Structure 1
Amino acid sequence: MHPRIRTRTRIAAALVSTAATVIALTGCSGGSGTTGDDKATITFQEQFSDAETAQFTKQLAEFEKQHPNITVKLIRDNDASYYDKLTTQIAAGQGPDIARVEPPRASQFIAAGWVQPLGDAGGSAKDYFPASLKSVTKDGQLYGVPVDVSALALYYRTDLFKAAGIDAPPATWDEFEADAKTLTKGDVHGVGLFGGWGGFEFYPWLWQSGAEVVNSDQTKAVFDSPAAVKALTLWADLQKTAMPKGMAAATEDDLKGPFISGKLAMLTSGPWMLPSLKSAGIDGKWAVAPLPEGEQAATVLGGLDLVVLKNSKHADAAKTFVKWLMQDSTQKTWASALGYLPVKTSLYSDPAFKDDSSIATFSTVLQQAKTRPTVAAAGDIDTALGAAVQSALSGSKTPQRALDDAVAASNKALK
């Protein structure tokens, strides 16, 4: 499964621990372990990159003098078994006070009773994009907050479009397919759509076709419908006519270079692509647009959520941390320093972001975002869907057969 898309290109294969990072926070409202002269140490388990760790530490250092009674110990765990270890800890009554997790995991943890409601620490629901709260809301209460938001959009080479006589990015599937074929010439390919990230890249097209992943009560997989087959057929046809060979096993890393060098006219990616393109020396030759529409507009929500776990012995201190983290000033500094999208809607009108046309486009894209299934078998469904995409792109199965097999595997997991 590819729930955290930006992470795939940066997570190391081995566990890294930076438990020595100790930071003081402000805003403590009192409570367990934080009253009077008492000191509370809370643990924050996450999967930061080196740049994120450096920026996080830098931002929090200013609070040390203001509130020395709360310290935060970062536990950086970039191992592939992150969630296996985390769930084992929680089930044993242990684990960190705070965890940074994928939205499907947040939903599962909340349903299992492993997460505490945040009260007013997370702010108001109106502060965030609606889709970003679906995984962390229960009975009208916030049990978590999005700390990273992303969604897939269309990146395109404006110079190649202009040379081909195309004056705007494709707005519909028909335009998209036609443009991809027109832009394919010589060693230049019109588009790259890949299967190496499981089903993640395909979700938007599935939804755009009018298909759904599971039925309304989330008990049965239904992505073998005629609409879903139409979406996968579009991908399979483009592999034959307008995409580089081998897209079944390819990832974004295989396409970024050709896009930068002008050998690929279009690809789908998220906001994590922006910093590298802005520093690639191709200013004025690329732009971002919403994905072309099928029966409807849709894209897939990515990102990460923050939750306070039920086993926390310093819940008040942990919620104080969350409240500080989600205030506008903290989020503005974080997003602008790292080149990320703001998670709070109010920041898109801030001068630091509103004049960036790419970020403005992503604010529209995020309004179209949908979340992947949040059922316990979500990982199995994503794996099955990813296998279907790979089979169709490689030509080993027809789109219909690939989706039929994937639905059968998904329903077995759901039972």
Structure 2
Amino acid sequence: MRALIPVVALLTLTACGSGGPPAQQSGPATLRMSIWTANEAHLKLFNEIAAGYTKAKVTFESIPLESYTTTLTTQMAGGKAPDLAWILEGSAPDFVTSGALAPLKSRIENAGELVPAATKLWEKDGELYAYPFSTSPFGVFVNTDLLREAGQKLPAKGWTWEEAMAGAAAVAKKGKAGLVVGDWDYKNWTNLASLWGGWGAKAWSDDGTTCGFNQPAMVEAMTFLHKSIFTDKALPGPGTTVDFFAGDAAMVITQISRASLLKDAKFGWRLLPLPSGPVGDYSVIGQAGIGVVKKSPQADLAADFLGYFTNSANSAKLAQFFPPARSSLLNVETLAKSNPLVEPDQLQSVVIDGIAKGVVKPNHKGQEELIQTARAALDPMWQAGADVKTVLDGVCTKIQPLLGS
């Protein structure tokens, strides 16, 4: 197996290398922005916004999510970097501290109105190195028809994890799937933060130096999850793919950007905040930032485009899929215009309230290696009869040497 080169090493190489002189180009200026989404609705909106920018032609390069960060950093180290890049929250510490990104604060319209909780991950020494264009809390889409058919009370704001799993298990007994953790698939464990946050559990300490997988809160949360999967059958088991948006599951944990998939839904649904856990109400946020690659020969033009792409008017358009970090846009009236499928009270409770109190998904320097190492160590968990505490102790044994390094 090829040795894993830490992302931070590639980024340091990118930041320090000369890159050579920029190639001469004829004709109108062009900019390339790397993104992970290939969603047609997202691309259509991006291209519509970019069409209004008169200083350059902008193209969007979609890279599959599962290889996104590795591909991006390899391009950067190999002299084939894009001018702008969509950066996932897990890789933010590497990108922000490496020197690979250009400073942006002076290029962002009304930067002072950006919500501090949204910019924290993308700042260093008072400077902003990526614009947090998507600050999206996780919520739960619920198929109300399936719950009614299973004789279950419809959930409402203030529901608990016990209630959620009971409803999911009841639906599963009727032949459909219960609860799906979106984009987890027993691989991307960081999305489980949307559940374990209810127990106050953390993958590692706030300073990033101590493993949290074997702490009591995490053991309790993962024991609850394991029982829900293998005893109660409330979640589809490993190797099972279920599409909530096709009407095949009672619930899915995901973000508001997926609401567009319900445009032609043949079933009733509602969007709710994450259920409360032993520590009470909480919110978990997935973030993405857009940065300008510092070594790009067109970095100044790229920063100018980013200022345009994220100005107040365009941020309002992007809010259809990507909740904005601008305080002036974080209100029900603005979000309702771009999210007509979601009820105003749901926008308030899931998105606006969620951003105000949310904690960003796990992120750390050297995140790619951490993710792969923890994923392998968690694999023994996903079978009936697993000793949860022993598995979690094993996770800490594997990742502790990577923390704080």
Q: TM-score, normalised by structure 2?
A: 0.78
- 1:346 is matched with 328
Partners of 1:232 and 1:96 lie apart in 2 by 40
Q: Does the 8 A contact of 1:132 with 1:301 survive in 2?
A: no
| Residue number among 59, 62, 65 corresponding to 2:49 in the alignment | 59
- 2:285 is matched with 301
- 1:150 is matched with 136
| Residue number among 209, 226, 231 corresponding to 2:199 in the alignment | 209
Question: Residues 400 and 123 from structure 1, CA distance in 2 versus in 1: closer, same or farther, beyond 3 angstroms?
Answer: farther
Question: Residues 393 and 81 from structure 1, CA distance in 2 versus in 1: closer, same or farther, beyond 3 angstroms?
Answer: closer
How far off its partner does 1:199 sit?
0.6
How far off its partner does 1:395 sit?
2.3
Return 5+ residue gaps in structure 2 as ranges: 1-21
Identity between Structure 1 and Structure 2 (%): 22
Question: Residues 92 and 226 from structure 1, CA distance in 2 versus in 1: closer, same or farther, beyond 3 angstroms?
Answer: same
How far off its partner does 1:256 sit?
1.8
Q: Does the 8 A contact of 2:169 with 2:234 survive in 1?
A: no
Partners of 2:307 and 2:375 lie apart in 1 by 37
Secondary structure of the residue that 1:254 maps to in structure 2? coil
Q: Which amino acid aligns with 1:346?
A: S
How far off its partner does 1:243 sit?
2.9
How far off its partner does 1:112 sit?
0.8
Q: Which amino acid aligns with 1:119?
A: K
- 2:127 is matched with 141
Deviations 1:320-362 (A, max 9, x none): 11111111211223344xx554453433332514863243333
Partners of 1:55 and 1:183 lie apart in 2 by 37
Q: Which amino acid aligns with 2:49?
A: Q
For the pair 1:121 / 2:111, whether they are aligned, the reply is no
- 2:180 is matched with 192
Equivalence map 1:372-391=2 (5 Å):
372-387=361-376, 390-391=379-380
Partners of 1:57 and 1:257 lie apart in 2 by 26
Partners of 2:296 and 2:178 lie apart in 1 by 51
Which region of structure 1 is more displaced relative to structure 2, 227-236 or 160-169? Answer: 160-169
Partners of 1:221 and 1:181 lie apart in 2 by 32
Q: CA RMSD in A?
A: 3.1
Which region of structure 1 is more displaced relative to structure 2, 42-51 or 209-218? Answer: 42-51
Q: Which amino acid aligns with 1:402?
A: V
Return 5+ residue gaps in structure 1 as ranges: 1-32, 65-69
Equivalence map 1:14-413=2 (5 Å):
40-49=29-38, 50-64=40-54, 70-74=55-59, 76-79=61-64, 81-91=67-77, 95-124=81-110, 127-162=113-148, 164=151, 166-169=153-156, 171-193=159-181, 195-243=185-233, 247-250=237-240, 254-256=242-244, 260-261=247-248, 264-282=249-267, 285-294=268-277, 295-336=279-320, 339-347=321-329, 348=331, 349-350=333-334, 352-353=337-338, 356-357=342-343, 358-360=346-348, 361-387=350-376, 390-395=379-384, 397-413=386-402
Q: Does the 8 A contact of 1:101 with 1:304 survive in 2?
A: yes
Which region of structure 1 is more displaced relative to structure 2, 297-306 or 384-393? Answer: 384-393
Partners of 2:325 and 2:380 lie apart in 1 by 35
Aligned residues: 365
How far off its partner does 1:231 sit?
0.4
How far off its partner does 1:139 sit?
1.6
How far off its partner does 1:400 sit?
0.9
Deviations 1:221-246 (A, max 9, x none): 12211110110111111113443675
How far off its partner does 1:111 sit?
0.4
Deviations 1:210-269 (A, max 9, x none): 22221232122122111101101111111134436752344xx524267x15xx322312
Q: Does the 8 A contact of 2:230 with 2:237 survive in 1?
A: no
Partners of 1:155 and 1:388 lie apart in 2 by 30
Question: Residues 51 and 255 from structure 1, CA distance in 2 versus in 1: closer, same or farther, beyond 3 angstroms?
Answer: closer
Q: Does the 8 A contact of 2:94 with 2:366 survive in 1?
A: no
Q: Which amino acid aligns with 1:56?
A: F
Question: Residues 210 and 409 from structure 1, CA distance in 2 versus in 1: closer, same or farther, beyond 3 angstroms?
Answer: same
